[in-house]
Amino acid sequence: SAVISQKPSRDICQRGTSLTIQCQVDSQVTMMFWYRQQPGQSLTLIATANQGSEATYESGFVIDKFPISRPNLTFSTLTVSNMSPEDSSIYLCSVAEVSGANVLTFGAGSRLTVL
Amino acid sequence: GENVEQHPSTLSVQEGDSAVIKCTYSDSASNYFPWYKQELGKRPQLIIDIRSNVGEKKDQRIAVTLNKTAKHFSLHITETQPEDSAVYFCAAPTGSARQLTFGSGTQLTVLP
């Protein structure tokens, strides 16, 4: 399965600042997604990162708050903008395995704490 | 979109006993149902999945059953061990791009 590297693994941020999370995959993948996992909660899909075009956002998530880039088939970034304490979460990059429909592999996640 | 409900939210069992976690889904067109295990501080990892053309799938101590008529599927873990302690998530497809919607999770604790 694909190997996903995410960074930073964790960070402590000040209110009002922005942070960019990077996701690097060791092979070309068509489908790449960003999920959020709030403390003690499930995984919520933020958006699908589309290569060469704008990301597709889920209800409740907007581009101004969570801008996403996908310059090629192995790399994506998620920015959390103008952060507030409510943005304290784990953000996970995931990719759909070529071998099977809907089989997702996850990165290790980026744990953000906003003070 | 797909709605996935998962029960129970917490489950404690004695080592060696069986554990069952249940999920229901809303979209009758869904055809793929995975289960993920997330250990504390780790990433979710796929442990077993089932496609809609079969009713049951087993892999050693874990099994998944699917009832398409009732739109529910279950995870069965037999002969539980302390290392089975984790949060388990069920999921179902949503959208057209192979995304998944996850259930709310079950914290399984296996007591030695």
| Alpha carbon distance B17, B47 (integer Å) | 19
pLDDT at B16 over 70: yes
pLDDT tens digits, one per residue of B40-96: 999 999 999 998 888 999 999 999 999 999 999 999 999 999 999 999 999 998 876
C-alpha distances in Å from residue B69, one per residue of A4, B30, B31 = 37, 12, 12
Residues comprising chain A, all counted: 115
B45 touches chain A (CB under 8 A): yes
CA nearest neighbour of B90 among B76, B104, B107: B104
pLDDT tens digits, one per residue of A97-115: 766 667 889 999 999 999 9
CA distance B94 to chain A (A): 9
Q: Which single residue is written with the structure tokens 């793929």?
A: B32
pLDDT for residue B97: 64
CA dihedral B69, B74, B79, B83 (to 10 degrees): 160
Q: B30 to chain A: which residues are within 8 Å by CB? A: none
Which of the two residues, B31 and A36, has the higher pLDDT score?
Answer: A36
pLDDT tens digits, one per residue of A50-99: 888 889 999 999 999 999 999 999 999 999 999 999 999 999 999 987 66
Residue A77 token pair: 């970034």
| Alpha carbon distance B89, A88 (integer Å) | 21
pLDDT for residue B95: 72
C-alpha distances in Å from residue A94, one per residue of A81, A110, B42 = 20, 12, 14
Average pLDDT on B10-22 reads 98
B 65-104 residues with CB below 8 A of A? 89, 93-95, 97-104
Task: Give B29's pLDDT tier (boundaries 50, 70, 90).
Answer: confident
pLDDT for residue A99: 64
